Structure 1
């Protein structure tokens, strides 16, 4: 049985604890933005992935390229290939910087998967993007519901993530987790990129809203999902539909990898709000060295002390 398979006689861990730090840190790709670039890194990678797919790139290439780019951006943020090349670095230097950023956060990653993803940064392939389906922009404009529970008021944490960011992060997590579940990373990636198709048209009222819809929920979701699928040309549409077949349950390795990624992302999204609210000045000044070492640090320290800051 695969590791973590709940059907085994002696089930092991349900998820690889060694990847926790990577998944926590990568989650901030939903919140990193830069001047002159619309949306977060995660939102832009969601659009980039769909552009590659509609442009005819192989789904396997898209899954590995987007995941490698996301993991490199975990530390480098928007110091990406486009910026580094525009700033005058050679192709070799660009790859070297991206690989260094990637290696800094992927020590715990499955060795074979790590090599496959690193190769994508060393030898990037050129993909001409196709036209973006309407659901890409719609999902980027659709906020997630926040924390909802039937019979209770909603808990909203600002700013909310959007559905494009969530889908992208689940897709990247799915590829990272796939070796643990012995799952096909491409299938997991595509399923995750498409698992909220219904929310391109359907506002997100969360679990509460779904329960209030009752018997109307599934027909509405099927109809709105169909609208998004109809925007894809037949070959790609059929490939995406096959990948989405793993979404209903955890009976397959791909289903387990997807649902692990989805669950982790949903909870980490809330955890980052709580972490930000509980951070201390000791962490900021002592551990993170906000006033960091340099020729003027002694003067900075005196200024803060004499101003009684914090």
Structure 2
């Protein structure tokens, strides 16, 4: 039976996995002057801007552009650029170049409005944001099997943010409304602000109590939002239960890819060889002392 889902899924070009892997690394990039990862902070900034009343499309574009730029600049954002005397058009040009370079393998239609994207409006994030940032993901669980934990774990704020950015990029492939996908992705784990993540195994054990518990916890989180925004979030979350709509497909594609690429990141790092690090990644790279460094590593048996 053709349910219309497989053909759409098959249109995704494999080349997007490169940029998606780099976006996923934002869960693990931190810097001295900031608390938490870039992904965690972008999640809080997006919710703060929404609570402050910034238009959803502007928040979506600003967040997506900031995430793409961070894959090249790390935590060198507009605030850092301003602190070192780079402002205005010059700062915008640096951000736009980073976005363009990061997006080379992405579909042009996914990049509409990202160059010159607005800044996120500063606002106080609702309390559930901090709780989701403190709530670790469960790892890999399956009923009847021991849990597979990979350290350090991601948290729910990081997962929701990366899923939201993936969803914006994937929406054109499914003919989906990117704003609904973005907002639903930001909000798809609201229940975990209250309920610790026990994974698939724990959810099976909750049985008939699972859905009522998730619904109750979600409503407690939504009560922290202004009423109009809470209603909009409820409407966006209507795409979550299935993949029967373009928006549902874009969301579930984004969510699935982030879950799998998160685990792949740990496995990929575990398979890295010293030869790859030294030769392909040029850990000891070209410079005035390169000859000395190569001789040292050879003498110490570390030249791979």
TM-score bracket, normalised by the shorter chain, equals over 0.9
Secondary structure of 1:153's counterpart equals: strand
Q: Which residue of 2 aligns with 1:44?
A: 41
Following superposition, the deviation at residue 10 of structure 1 comes to 6.5
- Listed as ranges, the gaps of 5+ residues in structure 2 are none
Following superposition, the deviation at residue 87 of structure 1 comes to 0.7
Equivalent residue runs for 1:276-291 within 5 Å: 276-291=269-284
Equivalent residue runs for 1:258-273 within 5 Å: 258-273=251-266
Q: Deviations over 1:203-238 (max 9, x none)?
A: 110000000011111111111011001111111011
Worse-superposed segment, 22-31 or 93-102: 93-102
- Listed as ranges, the gaps of 5+ residues in structure 1 are none
Aligned: 1:31 with 2:31: no
Following superposition, the deviation at residue 115 of structure 1 comes to 3.8
Alpha-carbon separation, structure 2, partners of 1:12 and 1:211: 28
Q: TM-score, normalised by structure 1?
A: 0.94
Following superposition, the deviation at residue 26 of structure 1 comes to 1.1
Q: Deviations over 1:53-93 (max 9, x none)?
A: 00000111111110010001011110111101111113111
Secondary structure of 2:141's counterpart equals: strand
Secondary structure of 2:264's counterpart equals: helix
Q: Which residue of 2 aligns with 1:85?
A: 82
Secondary structure of 2:54's counterpart equals: coil
Alpha-carbon separation, structure 1, partners of 2:182 and 2:87: 31
Q: Give yes or no for contact 1:147–1:156 (8 Å, CA) kept in 2.
A: yes
> Which residue, out of 135, 143, 148, partners 1:155?
148
Q: Deviations over 1:115-155 (max 9, x none)?
A: 421131xxx3462x332211000000000000000011101
User: Which runs of 4 or more aligned residues in structure 1 lie more than 3 Å from their structure 2 counterparts after TM superposition?
Assistant: 8-12
Q: Which residue of 2 aligns with 1:116?
A: 113
Alpha-carbon separation, structure 2, partners of 1:271 and 1:43: 20
Alpha-carbon separation, structure 2, partners of 1:218 and 1:10: 31
Alpha-carbon separation, structure 1, partners of 2:180 and 2:159: 17
Q: Give yes or no for contact 1:42–1:165 (8 Å, CA) kept in 2.
A: yes
> Which residue, out of 101, 104, 107, partners 1:107?
104
Given the superposition, is the C-alpha separation of residues 289 and 64 from structure 1 closer, same or farther in structure 2, using an over 3 Å criterion? same
Q: Give yes or no for contact 1:147–1:155 (8 Å, CA) kept in 2.
A: yes
Following superposition, the deviation at residue 113 of structure 1 comes to 2.9
Q: Which residue of 2 aligns with 1:196?
A: 189
Q: TM-score, normalised by structure 2?
A: 0.96
Alpha-carbon separation, structure 1, partners of 2:30 and 2:174: 32
Aligned: 1:206 with 2:203: no
Matched length: 302
Given the superposition, is the C-alpha separation of residues 149 and 8 from structure 1 closer, same or farther in structure 2, using an over 3 Å criterion? closer
